[in-house]
Amino acid sequence: MRRLALLVVLAVVVGGAVYIYSNLPTASTAVVGAPAPDFKLTDTKGNQVALADLRGKVVLVNLWATWCPPCIEEMPSMEKLNQLMAGEDFVMLAVNAEKDGRTVVPAFLKKTPYNFTIL
């Protein structure tokens, strides 16, 4: 009887895992040598930024978070790079990866403002 109960539990767990895995949203994957998958995000000023609109430019995409010390440490050098590349076909996009980014980023930028695009 125990063996049958164990098999039933195992079948339910495996079946549930297969169901969950098969229903996960699919994401575009990057392919070396191909254009990057498109995305649209909102910047800190409320503007929509689409990667497709930047085709033909050099785009630096940086993923960051306000709680990440290395992320915070690299931002001044990103600001310098953005200033050096002004006037070139270069765009810097800093994509905040926090769930509550819309609430924590404005407070962060009040303390430490940057001129590159923050999404």
Q: Is residue 110 part of a domain?
A: yes
Q: Using a pLDDT cut of 90, give the percent of the chain over it.
A: 67
Q: Is residue 19 part of a domain?
A: no
User: Which of 110, 113, 107, 103 minimizes the C-alpha distance to 94?
Assistant: 113
Q: Is residue 8 part of a domain?
A: no
Q: How many domains does the chain have?
A: 1
Q: Is residue 89 part of a domain?
A: yes
DSSP state of 45: T
Q: Is residue 2 part of a domain?
A: no
CATH number for position 103: 3.40.30.10
- For 113, what's the count of Cα atoms within 13 Å in the CB-facing half-sphere? 2
Interval 33-61: pLDDT, tens:
888 889 999 999 999 999 999 999 999 99
CA dihedral in degrees (102, 104, 107, 113; nearest 10)?
-80
Q: Is residue 11 part of a domain?
A: no
Q: Which of residues 37 and 64 earns the better pLDDT score?
A: 64
pLDDT at 101: 92
Rg of the chain over all Cα atoms, to the nearest angstrom:
21
Residue 45's domain comprises 30-118
What pTM did the predictor assign? 0.70
